[in-house]
Amino acid sequence: MTAPTDLPDLPDLLADAHVVALPMRVRFRGVDVREAVLLRGPHGWAEWAPFQEYADRDAARWLAAAVELGWGELPEPVRGQVGVNATVPAVPAGQVEGVLGRYDRCRTVKVKVAERGQTLGDDLERVIEVRRVLGADGRIRVDANGAWSVDEAREALSVLASVGLEYAEQPCATVEELVVLRLALARASVDLPIAADESIRRAEDPLRVAREGAADLVVVKVAPLGGVRRALEIVAEAGLPAVVSSALDTSVGIAGGVRLAAALPELDHDCGLGTAALLADDVVGEPLMPRAGSLTTVRADAARCAVDPALLAAHAAPAERVTWWRQRLARTYALL
C-alpha cells in the first residue's frame, strides 16, 4: 500500500505508544477486553487497534488511518453534528432496556443477531424488546456479521422484518451470497435494504459490492479502510448511501469516525459511533457518548486531544501484551 505522506519514523511512533486493555461491559464480537494502542501525533492522539486475528497486511491499513489522524490533515467537515445509533449486543431480551439506558435519547438502534449458540427465536425476542423500548417511530437495524447462509438469512430476515427494520447489515459473508439474497428477498416480497460492512472493510476490492449490486448501502469505517480520505473516496466511487461505523474503538478512534461522517457530502442515516457505551472504561475522562442521539465535531476533536495519562496508566496492558503489540507495530510499519 502507499505510505502516508506524513509518515513519522518508527522510533518516534514507538516512543509514545501506549498499549491499553479496556474491559467490556458485555461480551461483544467475541471480545471481553479490548486492547488498543494509543499514539500521540502533532495533531492529537490517534488509535491503532486492529483485531488480533487480522493479518499484518490488514493491520497496515489501520496504521495508515492512525497516522492520518495524528500526523496528517483531515478534510473539512460539512456538518457540525452527526446522528448516532445505539448498539445492542447479543444479550438476552431482559437486558435490552439496561443497555439502551446508557444512551441518551437514541432514535436508532443496531441489534446484533446470528450469535453463535443462539437461535432465531433469541434474535426475535431481542428485536421485539428493542422495539418495545424504542417505540413505534424508532429505527432498528440488525447486524449478522456475515454469519448466515443465504437460506438462513432469507428465513431470519423474513421473520425479523415483521418488527420493522431499517436495513440488515452483512447478513451473509460473501458478495455472491448478498446478490442471491437480495433477489430471494425480493421474490419473497420482503422489502428490506441490505448494507455491506465486512464486504467493504475487509475486501481487496471494496467497490465490488456496488458494481455487482450486492448492497443498497455501504458501511464504512475509518481504520479498516486506511483513513478518512480513503473512506471518502470509496463512498464516492461506490455511489451508494453510506453509514459510518466504529470498529469497537476507544473515544479517540470514534472521534475519527465522527470526522469522516461530518465530511461526507450526504448522510441520510444515523451512524454506528456510539460504541463507547460498550466499554466499561475509556482513555478519556469524558467518553465520546452521543447526547440526544448525536455527536458533534467539536466534541470529537476535543476527545482526540483529551487522553488522560492516569487512565493510560490504570489500563496499561500486561508487559507481554505490550511486547506483542510493539512487535506487531514494527512489522506493520514495514508494510506502509
Just list the catalytic residues.
Answer: 112, 221
Helix (H) or strand (E) holding 57: helix 56-71
Give the DSSP letter string of 86-124. EEE-S--GGGHHHHHTTSSS-SEEEEE---TT--HHHHH
**Measured between alpha carbons, how far is 235 from 238 in angstroms, rounded to an integer?**
5
Helix runs in 101-207, H state only = 120-134, 150-160, 175-187, 198-201
Residue 245: name the closest of 264, 263, 222, 268 by CA.
222
**Measured between alpha carbons, how far is 72 from 227 in angstroms, rounded to an integer?**
10
Burial class from Cβ neighbours inside 10 Å (0-12, 13-18, 19+) for residue 64 reads buried
Angle of helix 251-263 relative to helix 56-71, nearest 10 degrees? Answer: 80
Q: What are the cell numbers at 290?
A: 452521543
Unique residue bearing C-alpha cell 458485555: 26
**Measured between alpha carbons, how far is 232 from 228 in angstroms, rounded to an integer?**
6
